[in-house]
Chains A and B, each alone.
Chain A
Amino acid sequence: MMETKKISKVDLIFEDIDPREILTRVKGMSATEIIEEVLESGLKGRGGAGFPTGMKWKFCSEEKEKDKYIVCNADEGEPGTFKDREILDRVAQKVYAGMTIAGKAVGAQTGIVYLRGEYKFLLPQLRAELEKFHKMIHELGFDFRIDFRIGSGAYICGEESALFESIEGRRGEPRNKPPYPTSSGLFGKPTSINNVETLVNSVIILKYGSEFYKKMGTQFSTGAKVFSVSGDTPKPGIYELELGMSLLEFVNEFGDGDTKAVQVGGAAGFCVPRKLFASTVIGFEGVPTGGSMKLFNSSRSMYNVLHNYLDFFNEESCGQCTPCRVGCQQLLKGVESVKRGESKSTYIDELVKLAATMKVASKCGLGQSVGNAFNSIVENFREEIIY
């Protein structure tokens, strides 16, 4: 039986703290000490892939190059996610502090915030905050500068290597991996790319210590996380909750009493039906999420839900690799064709196999994750999809 936690709200991300105090302490720490602390905390990336942040920094710090980069991924394109916007709006200084800490840990002097195009309206305020921040770290003796780059509205540019391509002035298409960003990222230099929330978590860890941090969440999913709750809920919004609760707990808190399924992790995530609420852990050991939690009640057509996701992928795939570019079209046209009765209902099984191929043969995380939503919805709501 997996460990589950009771639902527990915390207030750390948005807590109003003075970054000067933490950075003063960090100034006195060695890179190894910072990395050890973050490793010890068990922090995993909040951008979706869940890679241990301490490891990422360690790999990057071990690279011998002189020029390295810290990139803050603020492209937030996952449908139903709006937590990074909220963080930048309310506690930008903590994001900058996280980047500065990361910079010290890996040995980078340059930080870049890649901001989602739709969030451009935040820029004047973010720049004003940054000016204050630069002044402060200059006084503290940090050799670190942060700059902004604005995305152009493509979901795929949130994928780290496509994001680098975009900053470098090319079409946002994911690269082959390896090499990984920590050895060859932005402009071919070692790069640590971290989500907005991940960076703020590193500040929390350095303020309160890894021991404190680990007490939150579970063994595999330490800490808390900001959730963007949407869909059929009386309480849509942003909530910071400890990881590791069961989905049932979550639905009891946020559902409208008629929840039939929850899409955990946005379009790239999984659709969990009511019968699995109790046994589903929200966390890296169960169903991970970049933060999006979308609830569906019984008035919803799961065919429409699936169709929406497929439409989204069909538009947002970069189109460079075969399984994803053509696969997305086939999934979309396929369910339409079955719905209209033009293809046999068993054609759905071919599509499930196709989605499995897309998972293993696509070039990047986008194509690899289309099958999550597709197969979980089709398996659990087959009748709704076919008839």
Chain B
Amino acid sequence: MKKNKMVNLKINNQPVSVPEGSTVLQAAEKLNIHIPTLCNHDDLCVAGNCRVCVVEHKGARTLLAGCATPAAEGMDIMTNSLKVRNARKHVVELLLSEHRADCTKCYRNQNCELQELANEYSFGDHIFLDLVGDHEAMIDDASCAIIKDDSKCIRCQRCVRTCSQLQKVSAIAVSGKGSEMKISTFHDRPISHVVCTNCGQCVNRCPTGALTEKNYIDSVWDAIYDSGKHVVVQTAPAVRVALGEELGYDPGERVTGKMVTALKQLGFDSVLDTDFTADLTIMEEGTELLTRLKKALVEQDKETALPMTTSCSPGWVKFIEHKFPEFLPNVSTCKSPQQMFGALAKTYYADNRGVDPENIVSVSIMPCTAKKFEANRPEMRDSGYKDVDYVLTTREFAVMIKQAGIDFRTLEPSGYDSLMGDSTGAGVIFGATGGVMEAAIRTAYEIVTGKPVPFDNLNITPVRGMEGVKEASLKIEGCLKEWSFLEGVELKTAIAHGLTNANKVMTAVRNGEADYHFIEIMACPGGCIGGGGQPIPTNMTIRQSRIDAIYEEDMSLPIRKSHENPEVQAIYKDFLGEPNGHKSHELLHTHYIERVPY
């Protein structure tokens, strides 16, 4: 392998040596010299358009964008000269002049990159004229998931790069030029009426409050304070490994027990776990997969769609509805864990607790903005009511904790309430890319062979990790009699996270270049731990910390296989009958809709 050539340069008179191809910004980082940035984001390609990171290269006619300029031999860079400070101050002032700085009313107050820069570079009177026009006309709040407020947009195009590169969706793009330039949609339609998957990755990368989730905090408070309502809450697996970041912990801290206590203190009537329905999903989806395999392999049924793909990521579901509608029969009919939970909360749970489902308000805490859209899909009313009433992101949940004056750090951990509160390690790992696959294999393999999966500690490492597309195959041997048709079959799987990778896998399937049986797809990079509703910032390192925490949580639990979850066993015995049975089909399965590709 070619050895990386090093280049030597000086920054603020300090010598530094970096591998060829590094940027000036990276060279400065190596010296612990901070250059402010705005349009730059670790997950995205370089844009170099905000010009906040300008630096002076002695002798050069213009300043250089630190993020976009390759470090070169002999450079003499100043990051804080008078020329740089003056320019940077102007840039920040200009951004402030096109931004509606209603900080105290803004959802991103105190976690806003523009605000931070303003604190450093702009105090006292603003230099320039205010350019924000009629801001009411600039807000698109028609979507139940994502609000776009152009009056707060500073045109850094992080969202555009996210949507096109990371997600291959391109729901938002730049339109117009000069003073008319803005971030827009197809024909400037509302976000709710274009190809947007509601994944919220743009929200997570927006430096200001221009893109936010629609927040339902007040509606949830209203329900809690309404004594006639019985408010149940479910928490997704990925929330427990990220919530801490909003409350002053380092990334990767597991706060499950304290989180449950906080929810109880907020006044929820019952604190339950989405992990429970994650385990249920494994039972339903695993059975569905085995049934499809049987139909295809034994009955040679040409109608049976394989590969089967997962359906628990609502961003992915909307993506395939828009972009690969011919493959909708391949999507598992299982509802996502959130929606299974919702349907059961107003039936099974209501019956059991003797509460009129009419009076149940079902809230879910999710790492995800697409879940808000999912909860509002017209199909999601199989209980006879809206199955999930309100979806809050991890961020909104943290706001409630702060509003309630809870001192999170000093909380005593507690456990989930019963009936739908038992979780297994298999349910927990749903939060990480590869997790659904791992959980499914842990259970399906054991159903088929009667033996645990042949991996150390049940850890199916080939399906783990941050690679965009992972492939794994498992030879099934020693089948029980009723599964003998699977004897010797090599189960081929693929796992993709981030919609660009999903697009890759589906394109391969469409072109007949892949012969998978089962594909796990999560819309967000890293899986749900990197969801659009997670704490800001999220980046590669932070995603990795959250994933590590997910697997720690898995290892810490006494039960690590979905089919061993006692509450899951109980619900089949008392209510559902059997996986994929009549009742399951009524409550836990759904169908999809073909949508236009733009």
Contact = CB atoms under 8 A, between A and B. Distances in A.
Q: Real complex partners, A and B?
A: yes
B68 A176 contact: yes
B179 A154 contact: no
B179 A321 contact: no
A317 B51 contact: no
Interface in A156-172: 156, 171
B190 to A, nearest CB: 22
Interface string B59-93: 00111010011100000000000010011001100
Nearest to B92: A322
A363 B94 contact: no
B129 A327 contact: no
A350 B61 CA distance: 22
Interface string B391-407: 00000000000000000
A337 B86 CA distance: 23
B346 interface: no
B45 to A, nearest CB: 10
B49 to A, nearest CB: 4
Given A176-B68, A178-B70, A319-B155, A363 B51 contact: yes
A178 B127 CA distance: 32
A316 B63 contact: no
A323 B176 CA distance: 17
B94 A319 contact: no
A136 interface: no
- Central interface residue in B48, B49, B129, B177, by most chain A CB within 10 Å: B177
Interface in B146-196: 154-155, 157, 173-174, 176-181
A287 B84 CA distance: 27
Interface stretch (A76-84, A202-210, A352-360): A352-360
Interface string A323-357: 10111111001100100000100000010011001
Interface residues of A, number: 37
Contacts of B127: 350
Contacts of A362: 51, 62
A361 B51 contact: yes
A334 B94 CA distance: 13
Contact of B179 (A328, A337, A354): A328
A53 interface: no
B131 A329 contact: yes
- Central interface residue in A323, A325, A327, A350, by most chain B CB within 10 Å: A325
Interface string B30-57: 0000000000000000111111101000
A314 interface: yes
B178 A361 contact: no
A361 B62 contact: yes
Given A325-B155, A326-B95, A326-B98, A318 B181 contact: yes
A315 interface: yes
Contacts of B330: none
Nearest to B175: A171
Nearest to A172: B177
B545 interface: no
B178 A325 contact: yes
Contact of B178 (A176, A315, A334, A360): A315
A176 B46 contact: yes
A96 interface: no
B54 A320 contact: no
Contact of A357 (B87, B155, B177): B87
A227 interface: no
23 contacts: A156-B177, A173-B174, A176-B65, A176-B68, A178-B69, A315-B178, A315-B179, A317-B179, A321-B49, A321-B50, A322-B154, A323-B91, A325-B181, A326-B95, A330-B94, A334-B129, A353-B90, A354-B94, A357-B90, A360-B54, A361-B90, A362-B51, A363-B49
